[in-house]
Amino acid sequence: MSDSSPQGVLVCDKPQGLSSHGVVSRIRRWFGTKKVGHAGTLDPMATGVLVLGLGRGTKLLTYITGVSKTYFATIRLGSSTPTDDADSDPDRFADPADLARVDTAAIEAAVAKLRGPIDQVPSAVSAIKVDGKRSYARVRAGEDVELKARRVEVSEFQIIDLRFAAEEGHIDVDVEVDCSSGTYVRALARDIGTDLGVFGHLTALRRTRVGDFHIDQAVTLPEDLDVPAPALISLAGAARTLLPVVTVDAGRARALMQGKTVPAGDWHADPDADDSGSREVAVVCDDALVSVAEVRRSGGLKSLTAFAIDLA
């Protein structure tokens, strides 16, 4: 089955002030296609890596959403906001005497407490659903929302720069964060401020990595969407960054797309792997992505997600 519409993955450098859905809308117009989705929301205030799937590339988004991410951020100590970032105005302020007592050692100790596996309460103004309704919608409707803590992992949390301006009512802390999917960097800012007793929120956030997709690959959205659209990362190329690869011939590719189980060749599953781990592979034929498949303990390949391709 041939399809002339765009098929693949695009790494976009999301501009500040535009929602992730707004980026999707612009990409639809730029590429002239309706089938576009994104892997992992960025708040309107944030900039940086937003990975999008076009056409059958949307089938890969589920494998991208759960990967780790890297952020550069600025935490402002001395005040807090309802959204835990600069998308809302500060509503609580530290006592000047308390802020004056905060030094480098205290900030480093507060950051250290948030490294590794932690139980994090997400920001209330977030897209998490509570009884079927987005948390941010409940907050905006005047409800008091208390979200449950979730286990996340902050593998790296480094202070890049400190700027003390206690006489102006704040201390700015530039940080770099490597973390698991589902981690709220603005909640880290909130919790550091709480730990130090001076409140805290984010004033800047830039995502520089989503899995193996990096900011140096990112395309900037043009003002004029009539300019030629860039080339996409191919389905096979994107899949190679996400999963182990099994190469098959045309005969096995056809059988997979028909729902049959085929031999995996020289690739062998880890007998101790669970169903959510390394048993999922990308199946490629002549550099085209055929399927995301499960390698069964018997050695057979069974398609989980098929990608329609033309086979000679």
Positions marked catalytic:
43
Please give the angle made by the CA atoms of 269, 271 and 274, to the nearest 5 degrees.
90
Torsion of CA 125, 130, 134, 137, to 10 degrees: -70
Torsion-angle region of 114 (φ positive above 0: left; ψ -120 to 50: alpha; else: beta) = alpha
Whether 155 and 178 have beta carbons less than 8 Å apart is answered as yes
Q: Given the structure tokens 């400190």, which residue do they identify?
A: 162
- Least Cα distance to 17 among 40, 45, 49, 41 occurs for 45
Residues counted in the chain: 312
Question: Which amino acid appears at position 169 of this protein?
Answer: G
Contacts of 208 (CB under 8 A, 6+ apart): 48, 49, 70, 71, 72, 214, 215
